Amino acid sequence: MEALYAVCVGVLTAAGVFLLLRGRTFPVVVGLTLLSYGVNLFLFATGRLNNSAAAVLGAGSDHADPLPQALVLTAIVIGFAMTAFVVILAMRARGDLGNDHVDGRVPELVLDSEERN
């Protein structure tokens, strides 16, 4: 099970990083979200995987590690705030700069190829 979980973390990270490296803002935001899924899963796994441990006191003798859970819970909420901020920033940048490239200007090389098409 652990190997499968690790593969999932790896795939999420790889997909997130690839999208993070794109040149337009929206794929970057999507990549950031994917990457934060991967990171959240990774953080969660620091408490090791438990199939059927008790989530609250008194429900069983074997407890899931609560600390990574508390960390990830706040990470999810903050991750939402960050995604929201970045995507609105992207909108603002498009409104003010007239394009949605991460550098704020479309590289000349791209303009050439767009005209050619």
Partner 1 sequence: MTLMWIPLLPLLGALVPILASGLGRTALAWATAVLPALALVLTLSLIPQLEGSSSIQAQLEWLPALGLNISFRFDGLALLFSILILGIGLLVILYARYYLSAQDSMARLYAYLMLFMTAMLGIVLSGNLLQLWMFWELTSISSFLLIGYWWHKSEARRGARMALTVTGAGGLALLGGILLLGKITGSYELDVILASGDLIRAHAWYPVTLVLVLLGVFTKSAQFPFHFWLPHAMAAPTPVSAYLHSATMVKAGLFLMARLYPALSGTELWFALVSLTGLTTMLVGAYFALFKHDLKGLLAYSTVSHLGLITLLFGLGTKLGAVAAVFHIINHATFKASLFMAAGIIDHECGTRDMRRINGMWKYMPYTAALAMVAALAMAGVPLMNGFLSKEMFFAETLQQDFLGSLSWIIPVLATLAGIFSVAYSTRFIHDVFFNGEPINLPRTPHEPPRYMKVPVEILVALCLLVGIFPSLVVGPLLALASSAVLGGELPEYSLAIWHGINTPLIMSLVAMCGGLLVYFNRRNIYAFQKQFPEFNANEAFERVVRRLIASATWLLERLDNGSLQRYLVLMLLLWALLVGQSMLDLVNLAGDRPQLPLDGVAIAMALLLCIGAIATVIYNRNRVVALLMLSVVGLVVSLVFARFSAPDLALTQLVVEVVTLILLMLALFFLPQRTPRESRPSHILRDLSLSIVIGGLMGSISYAMMTRSFNPISDFFLQNSKTGGGGDNVVNVILVDFRGFDTLGEITVLGIAALGIYNLLAGLRLFMPSGDADGRGWARDRHPLVLATISQSVLPLALLVSVFIFLRGHNMPGGGFIAGLVTAVALILQYMAQGVDWMKARVRVIYPRLIGCGILLSTLTGAASWLFGRPFLTSWFGHFELPLIGEFELASAMTFDLGVYMTVVGSTLLILANLGQMTTSERPVTKEQD
Spatial CB neighbours of 112, under 8 Å, sequence gap ≥ 6: none
Regarding 110 and contact with partner 1 (CB under 8 A), the answer is yes
Interface of this chain with partner 1, residues 8 to 47, rule: CB under 8 A: 8-27, 29-30, 33-34, 37-38, 40-42, 44-47
Question: What is the radius of gyration, based on Cα positions, of the chain?
Answer: 20
Angle between helix 25-45 and 2-20 (nearest 10): 160
Tokens at 24, concatenated: 């337009």
Least Cβ distance, residue 45 to partner 1 (angstroms): 5
Least Cβ distance, residue 77 to partner 1 (angstroms): 6
Regarding 88 and contact with partner 1 (CB under 8 A), the answer is yes
